[in-house]
Amino acid sequence: MTDRSYPLNAWYVIAWNHEVKRGSMVARTICDKPIVTYRKQDGTPVALDDACWHRLVPLSMGHLKGDNVVCGYHGLVYEPGGRCIHMPSQDTINPSASVRSYPVVERHRFVWIWMGDPALANHDLVPDLHWNDDPDWTGDGVMMEVNANFRLVVDNLMDLTHETFVHSGSIGNDAVAEAPFSVEHSGDGATVTRWMHDIVPPPFWASQLGKPGNVDRWQIIRFQGPSTVAIDVGVAVAGTGAPDGDRSQGVNGYILNSITPSTETKSYYFWSVCRNYRIKDVSLTTQWREATKMIFGQDEAILNAQQEAIDRNPDKVFYDLNIDAGAMWARRKIDQMIERESKRARISA
């Protein structure tokens, strides 16, 4: 078993697609490696190791010249494939001079990077977050830098019992903590389903539904290993058949989350909130995003404190509750992904 808490053979979000602009570079540390990402003239995103082959100065400190990166120290030039195509003061170019280039793909408003064996970087493996750019849906989100291991963020999303305590007053109420849930798993995924029948809606959902009376509320949490969680959420007027598939008397949203390990104690947390009603209402989109920012800010404070506590209590371990079933399945799936790659002798890293 390796010491890494994350697998490498997976697509991770490196940036929102609008963050990667033509003519400038974005530097991020992904899976403990400094990476620089930018766009070629034709718009295709590129990701390279952010360290010049020569003396390791970050390439992101240099500048772009067409599709190529010029190191800001001695002017070595790299093409998008990572090969050095210019060296100062010599007639030839050392054929070994190159930096690693990584497979990247732009999908669902994100730029994804594959840090592991490039031969396995199949685009079909990009997690499904299609609600982000599906014409029947609308929404928006941001990236938060969290000072916590990515698994802690996944834990947080796989068990929404915490809503009752962390987010009381917005989306949490006693019903969440007390409602039963079920867990299923297959392949690299796991799903937690929780229905709350005939409950008083929490304030946020009451205002979204805009109808009086009790509701049937659902939270269907779909984990796609190693770190993408799409949560199907909503409420419908109680007794109108939502649990049986008729959501016509309700409102539906998706909380989309993909967490990218930066280091063992830092993560880039990309999230968005999407809905399939009043989709032309831009103000509502902004309200959803800002409300979620506030709610996730509460999570962030907990997660940062949790990581700090882990670091300050090296002699202590986690104990588990019944409510952790979903999170434990997610963790087991992540472990299995890591185990699969460590069985191969040729892990590229």
Binding site for another protein (CB under 8 A): 2, 44, 46, 79-83, 85, 89-96, 98, 100-101, 103, 117-122, 343-349
To another protein, the closest distance from the beta carbon of 126 in angstroms equals 13
Minimum CB distance to another protein smaller for 40 or for 63: 40
Give whichever of 121 and 242 is closer to another protein, judged by the CB atom: 121
Residue closer to another protein (CB basis): 12 or 269: 12
Structure tokens at 56: 């390791």
Nearest distance from residue 58's CB to another protein, in Å? 16
**How far apart are CB 103 and another protein at their closest, in Å?**
5
Buried b (16+ CB within 10 A) or exposed e, 188-212: bbbbbbbbbeebebbebbeebbeee
Q: Which is nearer to another protein, 67 or 324 (CB)?
A: 67
Q: At what angle do helices 282-312 and 150-158 cross, to 10 degrees?
A: 120
33-39 sheet: strands from edge to edge? 26-30, 33-39, 45-49, 101-102
Give me the least distance between CB of 261 and another protein, in Å please.
17
Nearer to another protein among residue 22 and residue 344 (C-beta): 344
Q: How far is the CB of 322 from another protein (least distance, A)?
A: 38
Work out the angle at residue 125's Cα, subtended by the Cα atoms of residues 124 and 131, and round it to the nearest 5 degrees.
Answer: 85
CB of 104 to another protein, least distance (A): 9
How far apart (Å, rounded) are the C-alpha atoms in residues 141 and 132? 9
d(CA 159, CA 325): 8
| CB closer to another protein out of 18 and 343 | 343
Q: Are 258 and 13 in contact (CB under 8 A)?
A: yes
Of residues 2 and 41, the one with the C-beta less far from another protein: 2
Nearer to another protein, 115 or 236 (CB): 115
Can you tell me the distance from the alpha carbon of 155 to that of 64, in angstroms, rounded to the nearest whole number? 40
Minimum CB–partner distance for residue 43 and another protein (Å): 13
Alpha-helical (H) ranges within 106-261 are 150-158, 163-166, 174-178, 203-209
CA distances from 108 to 112, 130, 195, 245, 274 (A): 10, 5, 28, 26, 12
* Cβ-based burial of 322 (10 A; exposed 0-12, middle 13-18, buried ≥19): exposed
Cα 46 to the chain's mean position, in Å? 19
Strand partners, 86: 77
Residue 34 CB, shortest distance to another protein, in Å, is 14
